[in-house]
Chain A
Amino acid sequence: MPDHVATEFREHEAEVRPDEPFTVTRSEDGRWYTVKGYCPTCRVDTVFRVSYGVLGPPKRLWGRGRRAPEPLTGDIPVYCQCGYPHAERPPESPDTGCGAFWDVPVPPPEPGAAP
Chain B
Amino acid sequence: MRCLLGRAGPASRAGGGAVTDIAKKRYAQLGQQLQYDQLGTVRRQAEGWRNGLAGLTGLVGVVFVLKGRESVAGMPGGWRWVTALLLVLAFVLLLAGSLGAVRAANGQVGQRVWLTGDRLLSGILDEVERTQDALSTARRLSVAGLCAIVAAIAVSWLVPVETSASPGSSGPYVLVNTTGGVRCGELVLADPEAVTISTAGKKRWVRIPAADVRSVTPAARC
Contacts and interface: CB of A to CB of B under 8 A. Distances in A.
Interface of A: 10-13, 29, 31-32, 49-58, 60, 62, 64, 66-67, 77-79, 94-95, 101
A90 B141 CA distance: 51
Interface in B66-95: none
Contacts of B209: none
A14 to B, nearest CB: 9
A13 B18 contact: yes
The 4 closest A-B pairs by CB, nearest first: A12-B14, A77-B28, A101-B25, A13-B20
A57 B139 contact: yes
B180 interface: no
A35 to B, nearest CB: 11
Nearest to A12: B14
B211 interface: no
Contacts of A10: 14-15
Contacts of A66: 126, 129
B42 to A, nearest CB: 7
Contacts of A54: 38, 42, 128-129, 132
A94 B139 contact: no
A56 B128 CA distance: 10
B121 A51 contact: yes
A59 B31 CA distance: 22
B24 A56 contact: no
Contacts of A60: 136
A31 B38 CA distance: 14
B184 interface: no
A79 B29 contact: yes
A79 B15 contact: no
Interface in B2-61: 4, 8, 12, 14-16, 18, 20-22, 24-25, 27-29, 31, 33-35, 38, 41-42, 45
Contact of B14 (A11, A55, A95): A11
Contacts of A64: 133
B21 A13 contact: yes
A57 B24 contact: no
Contact of B125 (A11, A51, A55, A62): A51
B35 A53 contact: yes
Contacts of A50: 31, 35
Nearest to A52: B125
B149 interface: no
Given A13-B20, A51-B121, A79-B29, A58 B126 contact: no
Given A13-B21, A57-B132, A94 B42 contact: no
